[in-house]
Structure 1
Amino acid sequence: MYPCIMASETDSRDTSIGKPLVAADQNGQNAVEDFVDPWNVHTSSMKGVDYDKLIKKFGCSAIDDSLIERFKRVAKVEEVHPLLRGGVFFSHRDLHVILDCVEKGQKFYFYTGRGPSSDAMHLGHLIPFLFTKWLQEVFDVPLIIQITDGDKYYWKDLNLKEVKEMAVKNIKGIIAIGFHPDKMFIFRNLEYMGQSVGFQETLARIQKLVTVSKIKGQFGFSDSDCMGKVM
């Protein structure tokens, strides 16, 4: 399998997701500053979330000037995307590995997704796709987009017909962004999982490596949550 560069709502490799960041207050007592999980962000600081601490806590690395300069050199672009230059995208995992692939002439692909929770995507939903479109144009590589309609069925008070309709509408919105049609594969979980043997085999390998206790710690699941969420 080719290496891939991923953009997703969560990362299952870190057990600190869903746990508060803790620091000492002026009296030396522990004070909860920030809480971040896949669905919520809370902070008690007037300055907002401490992203430097989040980067360290989630095992990421900051995108600094030296990495941006290397990106420009390897990708052969005069300037990077404004969302990268302006710090909207400020951290990464293994971006240097992808740049190594480019330098060595090795193949890779992009992988991202969308959980359809409304009929139409707003600007916040579009930002990562706009950036991904630029990345695909820069590196001229395949793109895979996973529509996690099953997740929304488990988490939201929606029936299967509703999540399917929202998925189709969201797919139309994604296509309208202008990705290269011959280098994009987009699929819905509820439709594709049952058709792809390879997909099921990949899921089986992942599920064998992940314990229920680890999933509970990452996502805050309780014994009352449905099995669909755990899967």
Structure 2
Amino acid sequence: MDVDKKDSIASDSSDQVVNPWEVSAKDGGKIDYDKLIDQFGCQRLDASLIDRVQRLTSRQPHVFLRRGVFFAHRDFNEVLDAYERGDKFYLYTGRGPSSEALHLGHLIPFMFTKYLQEAFKVPLVVQLTDDEKCMWKNLSVEESQRLARENAKDIIACGFDVTKTFIFSDFDYVGGAFYKNMVKVAKCVTLNKAMGIFGFSGEDHIGKLSFPPVQAVPSFPSSFLHLFPGNDKLRCLIPCAIDQVCCFLTLDLDPILILG
């Protein structure tokens, strides 16, 4: 994807702003999703792709696909190509724990991810970004960790396959191979690019600048040596909301299914 396009996303304040921490349109108007598809280098999830999902999984596509709730993607066709050849992939999604419980809007990505796990019979990693909420919501470390545990209960209640699901807290897990990948990602992203994509300013503390690699590296199987040992080429599919896409555009990361 063209870097100049990416650098314009967060700074387009005259029209609409969409980044992981703010979604707003001029004068309280509606978000122009067609414009975002172009800016983010995405494609519409068309009927032919949805029909292909049904053919490959032998089950009816989720209602969120059929009704356009998940409306766009990046490289989803490549995941399906690989799956058709017999190659597996894994799923990655997450939750920023800033409240006691998940409401319906929070649950939609997890409901859809559960369908993907069942339909394709693949592993899932769920990242609880308690470190992020500590920095953005001015919560204490202890309170962020407590909320992460409470949110994990709601996520578990969605009914994921316990033999194929790994839920982790950043405060508890970051280190080792995961941290090595964070450093590799951080070295590839300039300060100008981070400010352009995420809308950071000179008033933001350095913790915010350091966070994007934390959210990016779960898309690398080498971040989870205990889950995918020796399988560095395993593809990752990321179901996420449109405001989270910036985190994965930083390095043109793996295929994405986008929720509007």
After alignment, is 46-55 or 90-99 more displaced? Answer: 46-55
Q: Which has the higher contact order (CA 8 A, sep 6+)?
A: 2
Would you say 1:36 and 2:15 are equivalent positions? no
- TM-score, scaled to structure 2: 0.75
- Cα separation, 1, equivalents of 2:10 and 2:167: 29
Q: 2:6, 2:196 within 8 Å by CA — same for their partners in 1?
A: no
Q: 1:19, 1:36 within 8 Å by CA — same for their partners in 2?
A: no
Unpaired runs of at least 5, structure 1: 1-12, 22-31
The 1:162/1:60 distance shift into structure 2, 3 A limit, reads: same
Q: Post-superposition shift, 1:40? A: 2.4
Equivalent position of 2:10 in the other structure: 18
Larger Rg: 1
Would you say 1:85 and 2:66 are equivalent positions? yes
Unpaired runs of at least 5, structure 2: 211-260
- 1:149 aligned to which of 130, 136, 152: 130
The structure with more helix, counted as a fraction of residues: 2
The percent of aligned pairs where both chains have the same amino acid is 49
Q: Post-superposition shift, 1:173? A: 0.7
The 1:227/1:33 distance shift into structure 2, 3 A limit, reads: closer
Equivalent position of 1:208 in the other structure: 187
- 1:170 aligned to which of 148, 151, 158: 151
The 1:203/1:87 distance shift into structure 2, 3 A limit, reads: same
Q: Which amino acid aligns with 2:76?
A: L
- Cα separation, 2, equivalents of 1:45 and 1:96: 37
Q: 2:90, 2:124 within 8 Å by CA — same for their partners in 1?
A: yes
Would you say 1:59 and 2:41 are equivalent positions? yes
1:145-204 deviation per Cα after TM superposition (whole angstroms, max 9, x unaligned): 11111001111121111101000000111001100001001111111113xx11011111
Q: Post-superposition shift, 1:75? A: 2.0
Q: 1:136, 1:143 within 8 Å by CA — same for their partners in 2?
A: yes
- Cα separation, 2, equivalents of 1:17 and 1:155: 20
- Cα separation, 2, equivalents of 1:191 and 1:133: 24
- Cα separation, 2, equivalents of 1:173 and 1:81: 21
The 1:97/1:216 distance shift into structure 2, 3 A limit, reads: same
- Cα separation, 2, equivalents of 1:88 and 1:151: 26
Count of aligned residue pairs for this structure pair? 206
CA RMSD of aligned residues (A): 1.7
Q: Post-superposition shift, 1:47? A: 7.1
Q: 2:127, 2:168 within 8 Å by CA — same for their partners in 1?
A: yes
- Cα separation, 2, equivalents of 1:34 and 1:105: 41
1:90-136 deviation per Cα after TM superposition (whole angstroms, max 9, x unaligned): 00011101101110101210011111010111111000000000000
- Cα separation, 2, equivalents of 1:223 and 1:45: 26
Q: Post-superposition shift, 1:50? A: 1.9
Would you say 1:192 and 2:173 are equivalent positions? yes
Q: Segments of 4+ in structure 1 off by > 3 A?
A: 44-47
- 1:111 aligned to which of 92, 113, 116: 92
- Cα separation, 2, equivalents of 1:17 and 1:119: 31
Q: 1:17, 1:38 within 8 Å by CA — same for their partners in 2?
A: no
